Amino acid sequence: MKKIFEDYVSELQADMVSICLEYVDNKADMIYIYCSCEANAVSSDFFFCINGATIERHKLNSVYSNTAYDVSAEKQDAVLQIINEDIEKIMKLCKQYEREMPTEMKIIYNVKRNSLVANYKYDLTYSNEPQKTSDDIAFEWFEQIKKETE
């Protein structure tokens, strides 16, 4: 059976989830990945829910006292680089298949259920507001999820 556009996008989203799972040593309950493509800029962020706590990627060592995660800037940058490359591949696919590129993708992966939900937005989220960046939007999403889960 021939692959279609959605198959390729799903593979790239699965790759994003895979690198985040690797980063957290497969110990997360939920993975949240923020992807932004706006004003010719690609950016991303990711965070986790572990044992009921919503945790930023650089604070993983506060969850388990007997586990030492590598949360070095180099490790975080490597994960973000892979996610950003996947976003760029989705951009190319959108062009190739003549589809609109989302300005924002919020990917939620439930590790226990092995289920992925991706929410897309096509309107500008920050580039039309001089005081906001994609990092601000990603952090707002983190705060929203934190309030909902704790």
3-state helix, strand, coil split of the chain in percent (to 5) is: 45, 25, 30
Beta strands 104-110; 115-121: pairing state: antiparallel
- pLDDT, average across residues 11-19: 98
* Residue numbers of the domain that contains 53: 5-149
For residue 38, the cross-strand partners are 41
First CA to last CA across the chain, in angstroms?
44
- In this prediction, residue 105 has a pLDDT band, given cuts at 50, 70 and 90, of very high
Contact between residue 145 and residue 49 where contact means Cβ atoms under 8 Å apart: yes
Number of domains present in the structure of the chain:
1
| Continuous H helices in the chain | 5-23, 73-96, 134-149
pTM of the model: 0.95
CATH number at residue 67: 3.30.500.20
